[in-house]
Amino acid sequence: MSHDPNCIFCKIVQGQIPAKKVYEDDDVIGFHDIHPWAPVHFLLIPKQHIASMADLQPEHAPLLGKMSVLVPRLMKELGVTNGFRTVVNTGSDGGQEVFHLHMHAIGGPRPWLKG
């Protein structure tokens, strides 16, 4: 599995940096965002280093499908029952700050209205 030794998320995957995990299996890891926008805000990332959505290939489709199916399950387990937001920032102009593909899962009463 590929990784980037300078990537903060790869370091989380390898256990070099601690994270408050909400999920982990052979392919993905989920952990709470360190600057949450809502009562529940976690990131779901592939363990394989993929820089962004723009770098996805057809063989990554099962991985993205898995991530998309996991988010609602994890939100429910974390007590979010009245909706949530899923965001994937892609590239600098798309607001991506860490160049390791990650899906934000943000739950709670309209957290994106935060001022």
**Is 41 a known active-site residue?**
no
Amino acid at 74: L
- Residue in this structure with the two tokens 């909706």, named with its chain if needed: 83
Distance, CA of 47 to CA of 10 (rounded, Å): 7
CB 106 within 8 A of CB 85: yes
Phi/psi at 42 (nearest 5 deg)?
Answer: -125, 165
Set 41, 49, 100, 102: catalytic member: 102
Phi/psi at 105 (nearest 5 deg)?
Answer: -120, 115
Annotated catalytic residues are 102
